[in-house]
Structure formats: structure tokens, C-alpha cells
Amino acid sequence: MKKLSISFLGRDCPGAVSTVSQILGKSGCNIVEVTQTILCGEFAAIFIVQAPDTLDQEELRRLLLTGLEAAGQDLSVLVRPAVEGQWGTGLVCEPFVVSADGTDHPGQIAAMSRIFAQHSINIESLKAILGEGGPNHALFVFEVMVPEDVDLGRLRRELVAEGKKHELRVSVQHRDIFEAVHRVAPF
């Protein structure tokens, strides 16, 4: 068996995950991991699968496209070998949540992510929510893995300073603290 990464992108509609998973199963592929989201009506998913060694990547892509078309689903498909291992293997990292909110302007995500890149911090998840706090309001939530050798005080200062340049209030919290503060308890 070989490990493949298969990405899907296109107009969202009911049945996308069902169609994809059925085609993969009929092709002899075992789904190992999957993540899926919908963003402004666009469906995006990544499936990591174990595929038979005899199944060619291009053949699997063709099977997926044919099956999706037959189901009336307009998704693009990318099939490639899955990357073995994961970023940060061997590194000691701590999970942090960095939120930034304020008036929306072009370049804000680029500015914040540049600070992370300069400190070799990996962004594991990014969510941008626009307009919910009023017109032109932006909220960006970065979930990042911070290597232990990063100076957290310096990182906070740089993020806050960069945020001010872009009219953003910035908060940096360890993920455990963020989750404890934002936990919703049952009534």
C-alpha cells in the first residue's frame, strides 16, 4: 500500500464527502485521515489514504473525476504522494492561539504570518472572519506551534507592534489557557 494525499476544491453541495469516500472505497483505498471545510460556499477537503500499490495516481484521479461528474458534483481533484512525517518532528513546540481583530485592510494576514515565519513558527490553522463585528471588522485566529527556543516576550511584542501598524488588537495565549477561558459549560 502507498500513502496518497488527495485534495478537493469546488462548489459545496450535499453528498460530496459521501461520493468521494464511496469512490475511494471502491478503488481499494482506506481513508486514514480527512479534514473538510466550507468557506463562502466553496467545499475544500484533504483525504489521506492508503492506496493499493497497483493503483496509479492518475488512474485514481480519473476515477474520482468521473464519479464526481456522474454525481453532478463540480470539484477539482489533486492526487499526490503523501508527505511522510510532519513538520516539527524532533522539535519541542508549544501550541498557542493568536487572535487579531480590528478594521479589515489588505495585507493583515501577510503581516502577521510574516512574523511567524521569521520565528520558524508553523501555522496549523487559520480562520478569518470578516464582517461579524460590524462592517469592515476582521477577526483572524491563528493556531500555531511555537518552538521552545522562541523568546515568547519578543514574539508577543513583535506581533502587537505589527498589529498596531495594521489597526489590529493582538492577543497571544497558550492553547490550554485559550480553551479554558473560552470553554462553554452546559447549563
CA distance linking residue 127 with residue 100, whole number of Å: 11
More confidently predicted of 131 and 186: 131
Range of weakest confidence among 15-24, 85-94, 157-166, 169-178: 85-94
Calculate mean pLDDT across residues 56-83: 96
Rounded to 5 degrees, what angle do the CA atoms 180, 181, 184 make? 80
Residue 184 has pLDDT above 60, yes or no: no
Phi, psi of 80 (to 5 degrees): -150, 160
Determine the pLDDT at residue 180: 64
Residue pair 108/138 in contact (Cβ under 8 Å)? The answer is yes
CATH number for domain 2-81, candidates 3.20.20.80, 3.40.1170.10, 3.30.70.260, 3.40.50.920: 3.30.70.260
As given in the structure block, the three cell numbers for residue 38 are 466550507
Determine the pLDDT at residue 124: 92
CATH number for domain 93-182, candidates 1.10.150.120, 3.30.70.260, 3.20.20.70, 3.40.50.300: 3.30.70.260
Amino acid identity for residue 154 in this structure: R
Mean of per-residue pLDDT scores for the chain: 92
Amino acid identity for residue 86 in this structure: Q
Q: What three-state secondary structure class fits 82?
A: coil
Instruction: Render the burial of 43-75: b for 16+ CB within 10 Å, e for the rest.
Output: bebbbbbebeeebeeeebbebbeebbeebebeb
